[in-house]
Structure 1
Amino acid sequence: MFSLTNADAFRRWAAGVSLVLAPLCLLLGMIVDPLEPGIDDPLGYADNPVATGISATLLHYAWVLWVPGVIGMVHLVRRRGVVLANVAGAVTVLGLINFSSLMISDFFDIAAYRMFTVEEAHKLMNDAAQPAMIIAWQVPGMIGSFLGLVLVAVAYAWGGRAGWWFPAAVPAGIVIWLVGAANWNLWLGYSGPAILIAAFGAVGVAMIRMSDEEWNPGRRQAAVPAV
């Protein structure tokens, strides 16, 4: 049962709920995106600032919400796969934090394309893509988030916490989503996040439903009086 005074219950619920909400925010962010399929026109953001802001915010919180979920998954891997879980978990958390910050570029798109000509705004946004931003923010954010989530899923299954359907579904959902987003294919763009909702949602719900003792085996040991 959820409780603010029970550390194990609160952290278990926080991690589990985050695993449900993160891919849901990803799907909703894709649905709200104002750009029309097949038309890569940044003016679509400038002409629809409200929808763009909502979409960017949902996508931002998708990556942010995955952080407590990943930490919860790593916490549950105790023996088999523990090294992979620890390393992949650290990489994933850093990647998710980096990637979430990149969503702010949509707000600059809105301002730039409303204040300047299309050519001036395009040059401004291209010039803003400095090497440091690409190397230190974008690349670690994308690799850490996508590859990291897959490796954490592998460690979670390896540790016996989920079937191997889980690490199979995670890369499938990510790849389908990326292909759909890159090709402006709505069916794929929505199907990928839907797969992630099913996969991470199942793990999140199982996490919410587990007992405090299963979440923290130390509780059981502490409850046994010393002889």
Structure 2
Amino acid sequence: MLFHWATIAMIPGMLALAGLLRERAPRTANLGAAVGMVGSASAVSLFMTDFYDLALARNLPADQAVAATAAASDLPGFVYGILLPAFLSHAGALILTVSLAATRVAPWWLPVLVTVGIAIPFLTAEQPPAAQSTGALCQLVAYGWAALRTLRTPLPARG
């Protein structure tokens, strides 16, 4: 459930990152936000499938539950409509954080932490959850910095 809500939070997070970048690189900000928000929305639906997998595992014999999950994963709509587009959230985050660092709006370590945070779960897939969660901690630090920066950004005066 935590991953589901964290992924939902990435949608406004992409907008906030784009807002930090908009003044110096508006086209890149728009591209990163669009790619990231489409990916994050797809990732939200991807995490919802976990609940169906859990229900299958609890209510069917193991071989039937595994077969049903495999059949769903083999559907082209799942792979090309949900799974692959969900990875666009990573692409959007990288477009935005690398651009923020390149324009000196953000420190150099921001895209490094985001990249490491994205890579760790894939590199530690066979490790205990404590090792895998270090990727989320890297992203928490990076996006926490961005959240503080966004909250401290002065609003333009209205005339």
Q: TM-score, normalised by structure 2?
A: 0.90
- SS of match in other structure, 2:100: helix
Counterpart amino acid of 2:20?
A: L
Matches within 5 A, 1:174-193: 174-180=118-124, 182-193=125-136
Of residues 151-160 and 84-93 in structure 1, the stretch that sits farther from structure 2 once superposed is: 151-160
Look up the SS of the partner of 2:127 in the other structure: coil
CA distance in 2, matches of 1:127, 1:78: 43
1:74 aligns with 2:18: yes
User: Identity over the aligned pairs, expressed in percent?
Assistant: 26
Task: Please give the alpha-carbon distance, in whole angstroms, between the structure 1 residues aligned to 2:42 and 2:22.
Answer: 27
Return 5+ residue gaps in structure 2 as ranges. Answer: none
Structure number with larger C-alpha Rg: 1
Asked whether 1:210 is paired with 2:142, we answer no
- In the TM superposition, residue 107 of structure 1 has moved relative to its aligned partner by 1.4
Question: 1:187 and 1:113, CA in 2 relative to 1: closer, same or farther beyond 3 A?
Answer: closer
List per-residue Cα deviations over 1:158-197 (Å, max 9, x = no partner). 33321121112110111113322x2233343121111111
Structure 1: give runs of 5+ residues left out of the alignment. Answer: 1-56, 214-218
Q: TM-score, normalised by structure 1?
A: 0.65
Counterpart position of 2:117: 173
Q: Report the equivalent of 2:72.
A: 128
C-alpha RMSD of the superposition: 1.7
Task: Output the CA distance in 1 between the equivalents of 2:121 and 2:26.
Answer: 29
> For 2:137, which of 194, 197, 203 is the aligned residue?
194
The one-character-per-residue Cα deviations of 1:93-148 (angstroms, maximum 9, x if unpaired) are 00000011111222112221222211111111111121111011100112x01122
Cα deviation, residue 155, structure 1: 1.9
Paired positions, count: 158
Deviation at residue 80 of structure 1 after TM alignment: 3.5
* Paired residues of 1:78 and 1:159 also in contact (CA < 8 A): no
Structure 1 runs (4+) deviating above 6 angstroms are none
